[in-house]
Structure 1
Amino acid sequence: MQLDKVDLNLLRYLDSLLREQNVTHAANQLGITQPAMSNGLRRLRDLFHDPLLVRTSDGMMPTALAIQLQPRVSLILQSVDEVLHLGQSFDASSSSRVFRIMASDYAEATLIPPLMARLQKEAPNVILDVMNPSDVSFHDVEKGKVDLIINRFETLPQSFHQKSVWVDRFACIAHKDSELALNPSLDAYLKAQHVWVSKTGFGVGVGIQPDEVQKLGWVDSTLADMGLKRSIRLFTRNYNVAMRATEQLGLVATLPLLATRLLADSSETVVLPTPFEIPPVELKMLWSPLLQHDPGHMWIRQTISACAQIIADSN
């Protein structure tokens, strides 16, 4: 097989087909017709003397050769993309690009407002589309349909690029007249009624089981390691709800310190150090290798990092 006799566009077709494993979806991703993609698959089969994708009861499945080809083709296209972007620049001041960012409630509440304020000055026409974790999947990010995910993670796909946004420590918010505010001790903390707030990962969540403390996150796992348990009266995935519950219901919220700024205007609550040591939480941003060398994407990552640094330094 001679290179000058091969249509290199077929590699783009192959990459999309192997990721989507669906002719129609692959065609839509590349902006071509379904017949054109079907013709491309036929030419690929002739080129490699292999069916590449075989229809089964579970849909189109890759052959053994296709599985071997996928990482190699992806690497080739990434290298070509890098070469094509050399010397290109991104003019943020005139761009009207839409950046789709999946952010946890914690990330959205703490990072997005100051980021947007910065963009209004430096890139007034740039648009942010901020989505919830349940809106997208790792597969969407891998395909470049979502620009960035900003969240806390326990496990990550190895293929993704990642960067730390900041490391935050935990704090307590309590009503100013509560026993915990008057006597910030572990005993007072355990006697208090608490609000739990968290939402990480992807996909539609399931209901909380209060007795499964090891699945409730850093705070409750740490207490469980100490042989202790707090009394949780309210479970929520929204930081604003959790903090208003401390202000209006007298519940205690234990959450990352940067998030407590959302109640900075409250005269009814106080922010206290936790009466026991909780491991810090790291916020990360992840993105697809398909977007690694895109000039606009590089700009938004740099802008987020610069904005995050200012927020973290002021903590």
Structure 2
Amino acid sequence: MKLNLRAFDLNLLTVFDALMREQNLTRAAERVGMSQPAMSAALQRLRLSLKDELFVRHRSGMTPTPRAERVYLKVQPALQLITEGVSVGEVFDSATEDREFAIAVDSYIEVAALGSILCGLQAAGPMLRLRSENLIGVDVSAALNRLELDVVLDYLQVDSPRVDSEVLGTEELVVVAAADHPALAEGGCTMEAYLSCRHVLLRQRSAAASQLEQALGGARLDRQVALHVQDYAAMAAVVAQSRALGTMPRRLAHVYGRAHGLTVAPFPLDIAPVSLWMMWPRALSGDAGHRWFLDFLRQLAL
């Protein structure tokens, strides 16, 4: 007949564990922080619940009965598992853990950093995996609050009391053009030339400010728009085949510049680099695996 757990005081299992480990009533009481009379009373309740003497007293301590030995064989691993499951500050072993991390990024991060993130994860542990989500059409704050994402990397910071964030890095914006574009003939670009040309712009995500507007402190430049595209790869391809200019992060400009033979020039205004924000749900702060992933991203120096 199975024991009814609802009628059993599970706290007695920690008493039982201490008695099995110490096989001495006084030392077992000290181990769990109880007085000796309280330990004696707990042992009596154990005996009644399990219908067995459990321990036989002798001069040097207490000897477990065969029933106690059989019960402990099952109980001890269960107690260990419970302890590990509820412990705060547990250690995440990347070499042995089986875990998928969900990250949301824009097209810039997909090209500039997703490869190095995946490569680093594969080196850290054979069972670590990455799931990438695009930021287009995503309510970032809601997705983080619902714990659908572990981390968001974006140039726009989420303002929410349930989301933590920090600047992970910065990126300089540059101008790109076809190799023979006259506006960049001298390896640079003046503001007058920049504004006189037509531009290929990245399609803006909802009402969010563009990276350039972020760098300009929210101000807008009155640019002549030739075309809106979905991502920087398309911007580079269109710019290479036209007389339009593009503005993009420097790292992408060098990647696409080599592929399309583009000329890259500094932005004609002295503007601040664009911040790359790392954002995550505050509710995951107690999770060792999540803390490990944040530290992993910091060490990559994106």
Whether the TM-score (by the shorter chain) exceeds 0.5 is yes
| 1:115 corresponds to | 117
Structure 2: gaps of 5 or more residues: 1-84
Distance 1:224 1:101, change over 3 A: closer
The answer (yes or no) to whether the contact 2:172–2:274 under 8 Å persists in 1 is: yes
Q: CA deviation at 1:84?
A: 3.7
Which of 264, 268, 278 is the equivalent residue of 1:275?
A: 268
Q: Which residue matches 2:228?
A: 235
Does the CA contact (< 8 Å) of 2:157 and 2:165 recur in 1?
A: no
- In the TM superposition, residue 97 of structure 1 has moved relative to its aligned partner by 0.9
Contact 2:157 2:279 in 1 (8 A): no
In the alignment, is the contact (CA less than 8 A) between 1:159 and 1:289 conserved in 2? yes
Q: Which runs of 4+ in 1 moved over 6 A?
A: none
Distance 2:93 2:244 in 1: 48
Do the aligned partners of residues 196 and 223 (structure 1) sit closer, same or farther apart at CA in structure 2, a change above 3 Å counting? farther
Tell whether the 8 Å contact from 1:174 to 1:252 is kept in structure 2 after alignment: yes
Bigger Rg, structure 1 or 2: 2
Alignment of 1:109-258 (within 5 A): 109-133=111-135, 134-153=137-156, 155-183=158-186, 184-197=189-202, 199-200=204-205, 205=206, 218-219=212-213, 222=216, 229-258=222-251
CA contact (8 A) 1:161 1:292 kept: no
1:123, distance to aligned residue in structure 2 (A): 2.2
- 8 Å CA contact retained: 1:220, 1:229: no
Shift of 1:177: 0.3
How big is each residue's C-alpha offset from its partner over 1:37-65, in whole Å with a ceiling of 9 and x where there is no partner? xxxxxxxxxxxxxxxxxxxxxxxxxxxxx
Partner of 1:103: 105
Shift of residue 120, structure 1, vs aligned partner: 2.0
> Unaligned stretches of 5+ in structure 1?
1-82, 207-213
**Cα distance in 1 between the residues matched to 2:203 and 2:95:** 36
- Find the counterpart in structure 2 of residue 19 from structure 1: none
Instruction: Report SS of the residue matched to 2:228.
Output: strand
Query: CA 1:127 to 1:106, structure 2 compared with 1: closer, same or farther past 3 Å?
Result: same
Deviations 1:104-143 (A, max 9, x none): 1122221111111212222232111111122454222112
Aligned mates of 2:287, 2:257 — CA distance in 1: 38
SS at match of 1:139: helix
* TM norm structure 2: 0.63
The TM-score with structure 1 as length reference comes to: 0.61
Does the 8 Å CA contact 1:219/1:278 hold for their aligned counterparts? no
Provide the residue aligned with 1:260 in structure 2. Answer: 253
Q: Deviation per CA, 1:230-286, whole angstroms, max 9, x where unpaired?
A: 211111231111122222334211122222233153362121101112332111111
% identity of equivalent residues: 20
1:217 and 1:153 map into 2 onto residues whose CA distance is 8
Conservation of the 8 A alpha-carbon contact between 2:213 and 2:219:
no
Counterparts of 1:155 and 1:179, CA distance in 2: 40
1:297 CA displacement: 0.6
Moved more, 288-297 or 274-283: 274-283
Q: Deviations over 1:197-250 (max 9, x none)?
A: 2555xxxx48xxxxxxx9656349949969x62211111231111122222334
Q: Secondary structure at the match of 1:266?
A: helix
Task: State the alpha-carbon separation in 1 of the partners of residues 140 and 158 from structure 2.
Answer: 14
Q: 1:223 to 1:270 in 2, by over 3 A?
A: farther
What is the CA-CA distance between 1:87 and the residue it aligns to? 4.3
What do the CA deviations read for 1:172-205 (whole angstroms, capped 9, x no partner)?
A: 11111001220422222122221112555xxxx4
